[in-house]
Structure 1
C-alpha cells in the first residue's frame, strides 16, 4: 500500500493552514480521534477527504464504513507533517465550512453571543462549545476575533463549529437586523450578574482577553459583571470561564 500523500493533496492541506484560503475554498481541517469520529457520525455529508493511518482504519473499521469512499491511508510521518497539533493525530480530515448564518432565521427574540476581538484560539473554541452546550441561537464573530476555522479553534470547540450557527458581522449591522434587542456587555465595572442577568433575548458581548470590550462598542451597551468572592484577590477571569458563567446564568 502506498502511504505517501499525493503532491496535489499535500498542497491542498498546506493551503488550508491559511485563513484566506479556508474562506476562499470553503473548507477547514479537523484533527484527532474524538473530534473526527464525532464528525463522521454526525456530519458525514460535510466531509471531503479523510487522511488516516492504516492502524486507525483497522481499529475503527465499523465506524468508518459510512465514509469508506473518502478514506486516504497515509503514514504517521505524513500525518505529523500536516498536523497543527503538538501530538500528531492518527486521523485528520478536510470538511466543508457550513453556510453562514442567515439573520432572518434567528427570529425576533434570539440569544446571541458576540465575540469582540477574542484572539486566543483556545478561548474562542471553548466559547463556541459552551454556547452550543447552552443552546444559544448563534455566535457572531466581531472584527479582530480569531478565524473559527483555525485548526486550534476547531479542536477546542470539539466540533461545535458545525453545531451552532456562526456569522462574521459588526455589532451595528447586527442591531439593524435585530432592532430593539438589548445589548449587554460583560465587564468588571458592570452591575452584578446575580441580580441583573441578561434579558431572555439579548446580544451578550464578550471582549478581548487583555483589553476588554472595544471602546467604540461600549457606548451602546449595558454592563454586567461577575463579582469576585469576598476573600478573593484574583485580578480577572479567563475569557472562556467568564463567558461560561454568564451563559449558565443567562440560560437557567
Structure 2
C-alpha cells in the first residue's frame, strides 16, 4: 500500500503545477510544517464534482482534499492544515494575532475587502481550458446570472486599490512585530492562511502580485521571501516552475 498521502490541488491541467487555490496552499504549508510527506494530484472543477466525489463518497467534497493511505478522505481545510506541535500554545497565539489583524482591517465582512477573486478572475479565466471545463467555469449556475460578464467588466484599477488596502494591515502588523511572523517567533497557521492568498495571486499574475504585495513594504517583502524559501524552498520552486 502506498503510504504517502495525496493532496488534491486545483490546477488548469493534469500536468500543470499552477496550483491556485489559496485554501489548498494553506494545507500544503501546514503539511510541510508537520514534515508530512505528500503527493500532489492536480484536478479541475469537473474532477472535483465527478471522479473525486464518487471515489470519496462525498458529493459536496471541496479542496483542499486529502486522501489518506487507507483511502479515507479529509476535506476540512482547517483540520487538514493545523500544525500539531505545541497545538494549544499556537492556538492561543493564532487567536491573538488574527484578532489584531482584524482590528487593523483585514478580514472584515465589508465588500471593500472581498477583492482577491474578483481582481484575479481574468487571469484565472485564461488558465481554464477545454470546452466542457470552460462551459462549467463560465456558467450562470456557478457564477450567478450573467456572473461571468459582470466579473470581466469590473473596474480593474478600483480592484487594485482595494487589494492594496487589504495588504496594509499586514504591513502594519509586521512593523509592530519586527523580525517575527504573524504567528509569532515561528511561522504557523496565521502565516499559512495569509500566504495562501499571496500564492493564489502569485500563481496567476506575478507582475501584478509584486505591485500589490512585494512593493508595499520591506517587512512584507521579507516575510514573503522567508515563507517562499521555507521547507527547502518548496513554494519558490513552484513559483519558478511557471
TM-score by length of 2: 0.26
Higher Rg: 1
Q: Which structure shows the higher helix fraction?
A: 2
Task: Tell which has more relative contact order, 1 or 2 (C-alpha 8 A, sep 6+).
Answer: 2
